[in-house]
Amino acid sequence: MKKWMFLPLMLAAFLACTGCGPQSAGVSVTGLRCEYLTNPLGIDAAKPRLSWVLESSDRGQTQKAYRILAASSAEKLAADTGDLWDSGKVDSDRSNQVGYDGAEPSAGTPVFWKVKVWDRNGKESAWSEAAFWSRGIAAADWQAEWIGPDTDSKPTVMPPAPFFRKSFTVDQPVRRAVLYLSARGLVEPSLNGERIGKDVFAPEWTDYTRRIQYRTYDVTPLIRQGGNALGIVLGDGWFSGYIGWRKERGHYGLRNSLIARLELESEDGSKTAVVSDGTWKFAEGPILFSDFMMGETYDARREMPGWNTPEFDDTAWKTASVVEPPAAPLVSQPAEPVQVHEEIAAKEITEPKPGVYVFNLGQNIAGWARIKVSGPAGTKVVLRFAERLNPDGTVYVTNLRAAKCIDTYILKGDSEEVWEPRFTFHGFQYVEMTGLPAKPGLDAVTGRVVYSSSPVTGSFECSNPMVNQLYSNICWGQRGNFLSVPTDCPQRDERLGWMGDAQIFIRTATYNRDVAAFFTKWMQDVEDAQSPEGAYADTSPRLKDLPQFEAVAGWGDAGIVVPWTVWRVYGDTRIIERHWASMERWMDMLLTDNPDLIRKNRLNNNYGDWLSTVPDAGWAEASARKIFLATAYWAYDAKLMSQMAKALGRAEDFAKYDALFQKIRDAYQKEFLKPDGHIEGESQTVYVLSLYFDLLPEDMRAKVAEYLIEDIKKNGNHLTTGFIGVRHLCPVLTQMGYPEVAYTLLNNDTYPSWGYSIKHGATTIWERWDGWTTEKGFQDPGMNSFNHYSLGSVGEWLFASVAGIDLDPEVPAFKKSVIRPMIGGGFTHAKGEFQSIYGKIASGWKLDGDALTMDVTIPVNTTATVYVPAAEGASVTESGKPAAKASGLKFVKQENGFAVYEAGSGNYSFASTVKK
């Protein structure tokens, strides 16, 4: 066996590690990850965090100890030699956020690691299969230059995308080849005619004045003995293209450039590198222009076959220009890349006008269309993209505002041509195709679905088909908007990382997908966008020259809510530590601006409960609601800061923020709370936030909840909440003893409701409750997205209360979970599954008359408090036996229609009788 194997084949060698050491039928170790990623390359963390998942068919299994080996080669690891780190046997149940404490590897060098554990009985498991990570490259080690096209091109126009190439020779066998690549712009790399990796839109969006990400690729299988050619296409993207609603290109600059280092390690251990410099060649090819907002134009007649192969003759190509390097540092991308994940075939084709063909995918997506067409050379096929149709069947594009979203393909004249763009994306369900000489077939358009590659962790299903469609819409909304940053929408001239949307939806997002790495990356964008005096921006990355777009209540507070949520869901205290100073600057700014503890100053664009259906009776009432909301969020921030301080062991900070919460709470009560329990500026959201944020005296909570119910009834048993209030509405109703009211809101299909949009064809969450109504048609096209995830924050309640999977209020990361399904809404069954960082949690129930069955799964190394719905005095069985005597269960109490048990890990099947 060779001393080194290239990375894509390493896992085959790793299998030699499996089965080493004493065996245990009780526990196996799987799911090894480093910094939330599976086998990541080029990470910046010198001491990364490791995690693993334990599996067992036994009940009540736990980890009592672990041992980690880390080695500099797969062979050493297979021989149980941890030359980089041998943790020894560590008496601990920790299997998440375990810090690497071995020798710091050099840049680019892989670290191979594996784990074994000891179970509750002291039995030793087999070694896990091996995993690996590699360190990123330091700034001084690039030894490459930033290059771009020649400087004669006009930077103010949208230029063609340049194609770069570099030929080189390899004269001895290579055991490892790694490409490091970054750009001011977007890159698509290839080697010897083969595309490298599956990433799109790399190196992804950051504030290019603060940091620029790079990607790392193992390209060992693509290297040849003899001649080679590295090719890179350079696009505009976020750096130089249109961003948001800005009317001009070049938010960060107008001249795209790239930097590359291809590092080759020979069998004898010697290293050479191919780097970007003034010897590279470039040419303009078939991409005439490409922009996220405007679309892409491609002339297939200008293609250069073999341009990225060593045999290609590039003598007519120009020499690349060496350009000034950026002041911002290069950093490794810490999150999963954006990739194409799904394809959707067109469901139907219509012809609303002669020669105008409209393809319906049946699903609103973010991505682009791959087309299959034929015709004479020079034929111009034009594609337009839309989420909805006009009454006459034509595409509705007025809500796109200034985003043209037009792709154009000019045929070269082959019998059949297949094309898809490289550097643009759209939000759409419908594709209009014009310009073909004959009617195309249904297979002429295929939807290509693009989003960040956060792993799927959740699923939900119930007996109500409309609610199942709602959950599908929530998931598709997350797919379409979690693209490098959590955008608001993927279709119009905006697509920004709005903070309010993100903080409202993050808890739902964590159920659907593992977004730990995604939000770790984005929180750095959030801090980069913070003003010197502490104001968080409305969007992150920040749009420049918009001073009023900061410090907004419910939006800026994402700087507190997001790290707190990542800590609660994943047990991640490092994200709190990393951003603690930033969060304190925000809190200090709020107190400086509002010394009387009512947050009424420096509210800037104060959006309030954005897109609430409550009509403002007058400016005074609207203003009261906005000041109330701002003060409520400030109190909430203080409460979360106290909890995070406690988690970090910061006793003084805990006391400071706990006292601040109490002071703001007291000021709120004096300012807004009336003696009879009514609240100034009252609305459903005012009542909901007062209850959820714990701003009320205990003896007022029930009365305020009654007023909330009265308001819902006054509105015909409908909600009136906007972005801010909707997340907490159903949870508060459930917490206060009104789950049936929450179910009523969930089941509604009349305006305003989730069901109303679904009844009218929604396949994603709409931005507005009234995006389209039977009475008025389309809302104001100036702001009317049909793929906006914010109002889908009810997904949190679907998991936590309908399926019944939630965090324990005192224990983070689902180390202890709460299983408590709320039966109601006329549902006869519901089921949720969630892949926590410790493993799968599942809760499913079925109702047959008053007979309930309930299946629960709790991961190894965790516990749960399980609430089994059961009428007072009803018997509860588990797998046919009295539950109180079942293995792994301990009866705690009967409470409010539930039999409550403490449970260890394992699978459980309960049966009981419920009160109808």
Instruction: Give the other-Cβ count within 10 Å of 324's Cβ.
Output: 9
Residues in the chain: 916
In angstroms, the Cα distances linking 248 to 243, 251, 401, 542 are 8, 8, 14, 16
Identify whether the C-beta of residue 160 lies closer than 8 Å to the C-beta of residue 117.
Answer: no
494 has catalytic annotation: yes
The token pair that represents 655 in the structure block: 């006391």
∠ CA 598-600-603 to the nearest 5 degrees? Answer: 135
CB neighbour class for 581 (10 Å; exposed up to 12, middle 13-18, buried from 19): exposed
Distance in angstroms (rounded) separating the CA atoms of residues 741 and 889: 32
Helix orientation angle between 499-512 and 558-570, rounded to the nearest 10 degrees: 10
Instruction: Give the other-Cβ count within 10 Å of 715's Cβ.
Output: 14
Contacts of 32 (CB under 8 A, 6+ apart): 38, 50, 51, 52, 113, 114, 115, 128, 129, 130, 131
User: Quick check: helix, strand or coil at residue 265?
Assistant: strand
User: Quick check: helix, strand or coil at residue 756?
Assistant: helix
Q: Which one of the listed residues 124, 188, 387, 494 is annotated catalytic?
A: 494
Identify whether the C-beta of residue 213 lies closer than 8 Å to the C-beta of residue 284.
Answer: no
Place of tokens 């939630």: 806
Instruction: Give the other-Cβ count within 10 Å of 340's Cβ.
Output: 17
In angstroms, the Cα distances linking 50 to 33, 63, 587, 649, 835 are 6, 15, 32, 22, 17
- Nearest C-alpha neighbor of 43 from the set 510, 577, 520: 520
Element (H, E) at 525: helix 516-528
- Nearest C-alpha neighbor of 478 from the set 490, 469, 467, 468: 490
767 has catalytic annotation: yes
Instruction: Give the other-Cβ count within 10 Å of 263's Cβ.
Output: 20
Identify whether the C-beta of residue 435 lies closer than 8 Å to the C-beta of residue 444.
Answer: no
In angstroms, the Cα distances linking 639 to 32, 136, 346, 659, 837 are 34, 37, 49, 9, 25
Biggest alpha carbon–alpha carbon distance for the chain:
88
Per DSSP, the residues of 783-851 read: G--S--GGGGGGHHHIIIIII-EEE-SSSSTTSEEEE-----TT-SEEEEEEEETTEEEEEEEEEETTE
Q: Which one of the listed residues 296, 682, 767, 833 is annotated catalytic?
A: 767
Question: Which residue spans within 374-414 are E strands per DSSP?
Answer: 380-386, 388-389, 395-396, 406-410
User: Quick check: helix, strand or coil at residue 647?
Assistant: helix
Q: In the 8-state DSSP scheme, what is residue 399? A: G
The token pair that represents 286 in the structure block: 């078939």
**Which residues are marked as active site?**
494, 767
